[in-house]
Structure formats: structure tokens, C-alpha cells
Structure 1
């Protein structure tokens, strides 16, 4: 990651979309160089094709784990290792994940706090989430954190600032980001990156139009 990155997720409502391969081409043509997907929605073979297409375009690959039970998460992490993605985002079972990714080169950014439901929600007080973030960031093998700041009932920018102020590792803000104001707030709060999927695919981000290329260019401008 650079100083502040936009990660385009090929996802809607925490599932990789069926036409993700088409959107990869659109994103690459729009100059997007950080592209990801979720561990649910498409079979392994299709995800493998996505990774290959993203790599051919010179972009960085991200897989975000939203499965909450241990066995599903373990299967997804093994798939991430087999796919050879650059970043593994999310997940809540660090004790099980860290041995699986040892030596793989994967950069692991788990979810701090209590995560529930699908689409995922972040639960707990700010103090509890910060404490979880500090404990995770202290672990060898954890490269950063994936924070569901806008999937919480708390004040999003305040939570981001508190987590970023408490840990020395980079923080990605994921989930329910759909406006330039949020993007600017995320940057001001000290995060290293943010993800957007649904709002871009649904044409909801303020832009010159709802077409995906216009959405992605507008988000990239907001990030810059």
C-alpha cells in the first residue's frame, strides 16, 4: 500500500458478484491498482481466474474473509494461500489463521472487535474495539487491521482515529463507504486505505454518472 489507497472490491453486500471478471477490466482501464473480492459468492476456479486477470493488469490482489465460523474461515484462508493473493483482509480467528499463512508472504489484516452477521457488523464499545486492535496488532504475522468502522453504531471517524492512534500498523477501513465526505474523514483519521464495492457497483457514489468507470474515477479522485 502507498500513503492512502482505494481498494475496489468486486462485491455487493459482502459477496463476490457473478460478473466480477467483467468489472476487473473496467477497473484496470480506469487506473485502479488495488482490487479485491470476498471469500463467498464464486467458486475457487473463478476466483483463480480473477487473481490472474488482476495480476496481468499490474494490480494488487486482496481477499477479504467474511465467513464467521472457524471452519469456513480456515477453508477460505487455505484458498487465499492457494490463490497467492497479496493481502488477506478480515476474519476473526487469528489463532487458527497465523499458522496457515506462515511463510506464505500473505499480508494479514484481521478484523478487530466482535464481528457478527452477514453483511458483517462490528459490535462493542470503542474501548473494547481499540483493545482488540492493540492485541491483534501486537502479534507477529499480523501486518495491519481491517476495521468495519461504518458497520458499527459508533462514530466512524472517532473510532478510526482511536484505532489508528493506538496501533503502529496500517488500518484499512472496510464496509459501507459511499461518499467523498467519508473518504476524506477516513484519510484525516489516519487510515492507510479504504474499500468500496457495493456503492460503486450500484452507482451510488457521487460521480458524473452511475457507470462503473465514472464511479471508480470519482472515488479515486476523492482518495487523492
Structure 2
């Protein structure tokens, strides 16, 4: 299972994202993402280029639940040339905008609501959305399982896993090793962590961001030597 470190706090890219990237060098994190809110476009371009230079797979996650704003995020992802775009629910429009690019698209399953985003929808809705995404040609789905309002998070993960052969990424509100182990058992391919690392929730008695992230990479057994 892959760990995607999101350079985000409260669904916004942190303003010192370039400094953070320097601070985590050598931890062996090979999947790194960000949002297109919180910093300006020029900073995003530098950030993306530097993540790529470090050999990591890049992700942009759509924040907005407004159609026009979400599709503007899609255009940003295409212009930057990220490896994977996550989020949003306008599948046909998004795939049309990404046509001719190498960007893989993983839309939200369920109904994202508000900011920071919560997830409405039970297992049946999640499974239906996963099947729809796969039929449309998406690379997988982005599931806000631990922000669910209508169901147990792991029930949603299991429903999504049963409904899709694509990449299943669980995003949002993952704060500890028990959740990570549960996601692996339920069949997730990857998970994201952002705010929990910056808040110190992953290793409460440790003081540095590197220590927070090392608790995850150590658990997964992929810390760089």
C-alpha cells in the first residue's frame, strides 16, 4: 500500500511547501501531492517540478465542490502535468479536459460536501460510483472514507474494493497506525496524510515533521536507508 504525503493542512497547500519538501528529503516518500489552493500558481509550478526532480509521483487533489472551480483545477492539473488528479465528480467533463494528456484521473466516490470536505453516501452509492468511474475510463477512485457521514468508513472501503479493479485511494482524516492497517486489510491501494502530520497527531510526543512522517514510513517498511 502506498503512502501519499499531501503538502496540505485543512485542505489547503501549506504556504511553506517548498521548505517542507526540503525537510522531508531522505525519508523515502515516493508519492507527494498538493491542492491548487493555498499558494499561487508560480509556487505550484516550482513545487511540482521539484517533486518530479526528486523522483516522486505527483498528485493534485480537487478541493472545490463547485463545478466551474473544480474544472479550473482540472485545467491546472493538465497544465502542470501531474501524474494523477484526484477528486471532483464531473467525470465526463474532466476526462474531456484531460484528453491527450498522461494524467490519470481518480474522481471522488460518494457525495463530497463542504470545506473541509465531508462525504455523504452509503456503501451502495459508493459501489455505484466506482463502477461508473471504471466504465468511463477512470484510473480509479478517491474515497474520503474517514470523513463519511452516513456509514462506517471501512464498509465504504470494502464496497469500493469490490466494485472496482482500478486504484483505490483513501484520503482525509487518517491519523494513526490502526487506521492504516485497517485500510490495508480492506483492500486500499494507497492513502493520503496531510494535516495529521503537520498537527503532530501521528506521533504525539515527537516534535518534528520528519518524526511524524517516519512513523508512517517505518510502519510500511519503506523508509530510506
Same fold (TM over 0.5): yes
- The structural deviation recorded for 1:170 is 1.3
RMSD after superposition: 1.2
Query: Normalized against structure 1, the TM-score is what?
Result: 0.95
Separation (CA, whole Å) in 1 of partners of 2:86 and 2:207: 27
In 2, are the aligned partners of 1:180 and 1:206 still within 8 Å (CA)?
no
Q: Could you tell me which of 132, 140, 143 is aligned with 2:139?
A: 143
What are structure 2's unaligned runs of at least 5 residues?
A: none
* Aligned residue in 2 for 1:52: 49
Structure 1: tracts of 5 or more residues without a match: none
Aligned length: 220
Instruction: Give the whole-Å Cα distance in 2 for the aligned partners of 1:26 and 1:93.
Output: 36
Q: 1:83-122 residue pairs with structure 2 within 5 A? A: 83-122=80-119
User: Partners in 1 of 2:4 and 2:39 — Cα distance?
Assistant: 19
| CA distance in 2: counterparts of 1:31 and 1:25, whole angstroms | 13
Q: Please list the CA deviations of residues 107-144 of structure 1 after superposition, one character each: whole Å capped at 9, or x if unmatched.
A: 1111011111001111022211211121112212x101
**TM-score, normalized by length of structure 2?**
0.94
**2:217 is the counterpart of 1:220:** yes
Counterpart-to-counterpart distance in 2, 1:48 and 1:117: 27
Q: Distance in 2 between matches of 1:111 and 1:39?
A: 17
Paired position in structure 2 for 1:152: 148
Alignment of 1:1-224 (within 5 A): 4-140=1-137, 142-153=138-149, 154-206=151-203, 209-224=206-221
